[in-house]
């Protein structure tokens, strides 16, 4: 038996045999439709559903100087969440070391920080290279004398079916998203331990749930989650805080720079960016979480719903995720 749900005709096959299972599918699909239509991260749009799935994520309206005299190092600081974090932590009093491959974009970030009265250091860094990660930490210590927070944000996505994918694409993604986090954390760790500071990893909902057409990206985020969660346990008695952040879809250039099956940038986003959480909103939530020494964040109402469904109804959630990704223009799956 096949059921067609709503105007978009989501197909539920005969393995859902009970009325209760069908009812659950109907409710779930409607919830996902609601979350995809509204940007529930804005405080003015908080409703019953967003309160249910968006706990402790309301951005602070009047940030203070909580990071006065502290030093924050941010990778991937040339755009998106990385740039927004650099600006947010600087606004809260931190001196910020900026790392990314493109020096010109880093200088733009530095200028924005200085315009708001902050202090920043530009250190061009390719996180795929061990020696450049070590140089980032050394330059930060030379300039500021300490490191309190490391934000591992450098990352790249992809969009291709695995069977069509050049294996060098996955290697490149793992080198940036996973090994870049490992290298920077390795060199920063002794100094952050000394200050009982925080290591942050910007993961993704795909670090928890599968994302078809993004095998390499999903694998890198699962690896990051495993690495950082284990690092937290190893240092549980040392005063180290490790925060793993799982943003949902965020309005940034990560989809424009996502790699295709041949390793070229796809150049455009297949999704409606206007309905996504902004990098600035994500950065505010991250800063609050670091202050509170939180361990794990799942962002956006839709993201929280997916994680909850994945935990209790994995097979059903897999079908919903696959259906949603197939709706993308020129979907590879």
- The pLDDT of 37-66, averaged and rounded, is 48
The pLDDT, as a whole number, for residue 251 is: 66
321 shares its domain with 183: no
251 shares its domain with 295: yes
159 shares its domain with 95: yes
Q: Any idea what DSSP says for residue 204?
A: -
Question: Is 199 strand, coil or helix?
Answer: strand
pLDDT single digits (tens) 280-301: 999 999 999 999 999 999 998 8
What's the N-to-C CA distance of the chain in angstroms? Answer: 24
Averaged confidence pLDDT in the chain: 83
276 shares its domain with 330: no
The DSSP line for 138-181 is HHHHHHHS---EEEE-----B-B-GGG--HHHHHHHIIIIIIHH
158 shares its domain with 189: yes
The pLDDT, as a whole number, for residue 330 is: 83
Q: How far is the C-alpha of 180 from the C-alpha of 119, rounded, in Å?
A: 25
Q: How far is the C-alpha of 31 from the C-alpha of 50, rounded, in Å?
A: 11
| Enzyme catalytic residues | 217
Q: How far is the C-alpha of 85 from the C-alpha of 41, rounded, in Å?
A: 17
The pLDDT, as a whole number, for residue 130 is: 98
67 shares its domain with 205: yes
Find the domain containing 286 and state its range: 63-299
pLDDT single digits (tens) 190-237: 999 999 999 999 999 999 999 999 999 999 999 999 999 999 999 999
pLDDT single digits (tens) 9-29: 444 444 444 444 544 555 555
Q: Does the pLDDT value for residue 48 go beyond 60?
A: no
Asked if 99 and 123 count as a contact pair (C-beta separation under 8 A), the reply is: yes
Structure tokens at 164: 């069509």
The pLDDT, as a whole number, for residue 261 is: 80
Count of domains in the chain?
Answer: 2
Instruction: Report strand pairing: 71-75 vs 149-152.
Output: parallel
Q: How far is the C-alpha of 305 from the C-alpha of 298, rounded, in Å?
A: 10
CATH code of residue 224: 3.40.50.720
Q: 83 or 53: which carries more pLDDT confidence?
A: 83
181 shares its domain with 35: no
247 shares its domain with 314: no
pLDDT single digits (tens) 244-258: 999 987 666 655 667
- For 312-319, the CB contacts below 8 A with 24+ separation are 313/24, 313/28, 316/16, 316/21, 316/24, 316/25, 316/28, 317/209, 318/210, 319/12
230 shares its domain with 325: no
The pLDDT, as a whole number, for residue 209 is: 94
199 shares its domain with 267: yes
pLDDT single digits (tens) 145-165: 999 999 999 999 888 999 999
21 shares its domain with 68: no
pLDDT band (50, 70, 90) for residue 329: confident
152 shares its domain with 179: yes
CB within 8 Å of 181: residues ≥ 6 apart: 127, 152, 154, 201, 224, 227, 228
Q: Does the pLDDT value for residue 32 go beyond 60?
A: no
Q: 269 or 117: which carries more pLDDT confidence?
A: 117
Q: Tell me which H or E stretch contains 279.
A: helix 279-291
């Amino acid at each position: 038996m096949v059921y067609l749900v709503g105007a978009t005709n989501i197909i539920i096959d005969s393995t859902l045999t009970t009325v209760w299972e069908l009812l659950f599918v109907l409710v779930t699909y409607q919830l996902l439709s609601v979350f995809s239509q509204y940007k529930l991260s804005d405080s003015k749009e908080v409703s019953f559903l967003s309160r249910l799935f968006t706990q402790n994520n309301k951005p602070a309206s009047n940030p203070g100087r909580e990071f006065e005299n502290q030093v924050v190092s941010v990778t991937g600081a040339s755009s998106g969440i990385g740039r927004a974090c650099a600006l947010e932590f600087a606004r809260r009093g931190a001196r910020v070391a900026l790392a990314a491959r493109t020096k010109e974009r880093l200088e733009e970030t530095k200028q924005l920080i200085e315009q708001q009265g902050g202090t920043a250091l530009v250190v061009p860094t390719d996180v795929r290279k061990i020696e450049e990660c070590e140089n980032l930490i050394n330059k930060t210590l030379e300039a500021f004398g300490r490191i309190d927070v490391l934000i591992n944000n450098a990352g790249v996505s992809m969009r291709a079916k695995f069977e069509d994918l050049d294996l060098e694409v996955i290697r490149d993604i793992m080198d940036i998203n996973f090994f870049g986090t490992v290298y920077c954390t390795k060199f920063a760790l002794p100094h952050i331990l000394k200050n009982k500071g925080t290591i942050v990893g910007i993961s993704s909902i795909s670090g928890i749930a599968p994302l078809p057409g993004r095998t390499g990206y999903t694998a890198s985020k699962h690896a990051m989650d495993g690495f950082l969660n284990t690092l937290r346990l190893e240092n549980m008695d040392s005063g180290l805080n490790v925060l793993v952040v799982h943003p949902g879809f965020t309005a940034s250039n990560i989809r424009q720079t996502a790699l295709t099956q041949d390793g070229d940038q796809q150049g455009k986003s297949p999704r409606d960016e206007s309905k996504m959480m902004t990098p600035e909103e994500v950065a505010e939530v991250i800063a609050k979480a670091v202050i509170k020494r939180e361990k794990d964040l799942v962002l956006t109402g839709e993201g929280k719903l997916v994680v909850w469904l994945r935990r209790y109804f994995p097979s059903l959630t897999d079908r919903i995720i696959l259906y949603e990704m197939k709706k993308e223009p020129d979907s590879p799956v």
